[in-house]
Amino acid sequence: MIKEIILCKYGEIVLKGANRATFEAKLAKEIKKRVSLYGHFSVSHAQSTVFIEPLDDNADIEGAYEACRCVFGIVGVSRAAVAEKNIEDILSVAKSYLPALLRGKKTFKAEAKRSDKSFPLPSPTIAAEVGGAILSAMPSIRVDIHNPDVVVRVEIRETNAYIHAGQEKGAGGMPYRSAGKGLLLLSGGIDSPVAAYMMAKRGMEIEALHFESFPYTSEAAKEKVLTLADKVCAYTGQMYVHIISLTHVQEELRDNCEEEYFTLLLRIFMMTLAERCAKGYHAQALITGESLGQVASQTMEAIAVTNSVVSLPVFRPLIGMDKEEIVRIARQIDTFETSILPYEDCCTVFTPRHPRTRPQLDKVMAELEKVDFEGLLEEAYATMYTEKRTIYPEEQKKGTVQ
């Protein structure tokens, strides 16, 4: 019986210097936790590759493989057959393992890489031998070295040889939790889940803050947001979603302030509450899904106003992207169809007919003085509760965290 393992190739980690081992350890830990959902596997790493080996027949290698494709820090994932480090066993395994993977393909190319330079045959000879074995086993296929349907690779490593037919693209980026923690302002729209994905891809641990306005927003609207968090958890493993009610804040703004400033004033409350939440949960930055000029609250002047009320850095990974680019990523990470469900969020409640797009900070602050800013902040913050979203069954039992 052919033994099969998963090979995961590093991304940017290879560029790290003296602290590379720290990133490798974080990556291996994340992979080990992800594949544990699919059975017992050993996880090791050497020469810019993570080796994931099933330890018994009950291990679901297909499930583990798909999980590895969503782990940040990995640029390529392959399922590979294991062979002894001699050409006879390599050819025997190639003849048995590859035909099923090449069935229906018209062309292929064979490549070899000797990480172990003590292996007696050079890489071109290994590739030629394996290519010949494939042709003898599958007379209908032909070699195309320029534009093959499949590239078959043989890797000669320290302990074994590995044979695989094609490599799928991994999630890329840097290992999750290798770049601090950020607090995401998570709405029910298209943009903020994409912002979460992009910062998580850079290694940042993500927690989220969602603002609700019951009864103006519904329970279904909140569940939509939690579903979006679940989608992002395919890449992050888990996420805490903090939820704050802004109902009274919005009613006070509606009743006391000029309508054209309403969106900006609400944004000031959101950013101030977000910073307080971030500091309380040891996050070092805020994250938003803003894109320059996309809506009235995302002009340069409006962004300057909301920036002025917080001291933490605000990361806006979508700032220079157009909607088409954002939607493409949303579809890629499977959040788009959930994001467009027709449930209102608090940003669409009491929306001004003619919002101020080029606000002056002094005039905005003058409007803010018409309400009890500090009192409303305290009241809103006291409503906060937390939902833990996770892909790990043992963690799901913990439910809501107060």
Residue corresponding to tokens 């048995």 = 96
Q: How far apart are CA 67 and CA 6, in angstroms?
A: 11
Q: In this structure, is residue 25 part of a structural domain? A: yes
Q: How far is CA 194 from CA 133, 210, 289, 318, 339, in A?
A: 46, 15, 7, 8, 10
**Structural domain ending residue among the three candidates 169, 191, 216:** 169
- pLDDT for 356 equals 73
- Quickly list DSSP for 254-306: HHHS-GGGHHHHHHHHHHHHHHHHHHHTT--EEE----TTSSGGGSHHHHHHH
**Residue 379 sits in the same domain as residue 230:** yes
Q: How confident is the model at residue 95 (pLDDT cuts 50, 70, 90)?
A: very high
Q: How far apart are CA 319 and CA 292, in angstroms?
A: 5
**Residue 37 sits in the same domain as residue 145:** yes
**Residue 214 sits in the same domain as residue 288:** yes
- Per the CB < 8 A criterion, the answer to whether 389 and 226 are in contact is yes
**Structural domain ending residue among the three candidates 169, 189, 223:** 169
Q: What is the mean pLDDT of residues 201-219?
A: 94
Q: How far apart are CA 362 and CA 281, in angstroms?
A: 31
**Residue 58 sits in the same domain as residue 155:** yes
pLDDT at 401 over 90: no
Q: How far apart are CA 170 and CA 73, in angstroms?
A: 8
Q: In this structure, is residue 175 part of a structural domain? A: no
**Residue 42 sits in the same domain as residue 138:** yes
Domain hosting residue 231, numbered range: 181-401
42-76 b/e (C-beta count within 10 Å ≥ 16 → b)? ebebeeebbbbbbeeeebebeebbebbbbbbbbbb
**How many separate domains does the chain show?**
2
* Residue 9, domain CATH: 3.30.2130.30
* Residue 206, domain CATH: 3.40.50.620
For the stretch 231-248, pLDDT in tens is 999 999 999 999 999 999
Q: In this structure, is residue 214 part of a structural domain? A: yes
Of the candidates 30, 348, 337, 333, which has an alpha carbon nearest to the alpha carbon of residue 195? 333
pLDDT at 57 over 70: yes
Q: What is the mean pLDDT of residues 31-59?
A: 95
For the stretch 159-204, pLDDT in tens is 999 999 989 999 999 999 999 999 999 999 999 999 999 999 999 9
Q: In this structure, is residue 223 part of a structural domain? A: yes
**Residue 115 sits in the same domain as residue 35:** yes
pLDDT at 215 over 60: yes
- pLDDT for 297 equals 75
pTM: 0.91
In the three-class reduction of DSSP (H, G, I as helix; E, B as strand; rest coil), residue 227 is classed as helix
The overall average pLDDT reported for the chain is 93
Q: How confident is the model at residue 7 (pLDDT cuts 50, 70, 90)?
A: very high
**Residue 231 sits in the same domain as residue 316:** yes
Furthest CA-CA distance within the chain: 84
- pLDDT for 395 equals 74
Q: In this structure, is residue 32 part of a structural domain? A: yes
Q: In this structure, is residue 31 part of a structural domain? A: yes
Q: In this structure, is residue 176 part of a structural domain? A: no
- pLDDT for 397 equals 59
Q: How confident is the model at residue 91 (pLDDT cuts 50, 70, 90)?
A: very high
**Residue 151 sits in the same domain as residue 213:** no
Q: Calculate the CA dihedral of residues 190, 194, 195, 198 and round it to 10 degrees.
A: -170
- Quickly list DSSP for 192-206: HHHHHHHHHHTT-EE
**Structural domain ending residue among the three candidates 116, 136, 169:** 169
**Residue 238 sits in the same domain as residue 372:** yes
Q: Which two tokens stand for residue 289?
A: 């899904």
Q: How far apart are CA 327 and CA 330, in angstroms?
A: 5
**Residue 384 sits in the same domain as residue 237:** yes
- pLDDT for 402 equals 45
Q: In this structure, is residue 174 part of a structural domain? A: no
Q: How far is CA 130 from CA 115, 123, 125, 147, 154, in A?
A: 17, 11, 9, 18, 8
**Residue 115 sits in the same domain as residue 188:** no
**Residue 102 sits in the same domain as residue 223:** no
Q: Which two tokens stand for residue 369?
A: 């003085």
Stretch among 162-166, 266-270, 343-347, 362-366 having the lowest mean pLDDT: 343-347
Q: Say if strands 150-156 and 142-143 run parallel, antiparallel, or are unpaired.
A: unpaired
| Whole-angstrom Cα Rg for the chain | 26
Q: How far apart are CA 328 and CA 257, in angstroms?
A: 38
pLDDT at 346 over 80: no
Residue corresponding to tokens 């493989």 = 65
- pLDDT for 400 equals 54
E strand intervals along 85-219: 107-114, 142-143, 150-156, 161-165, 168-169, 181-185, 205-212
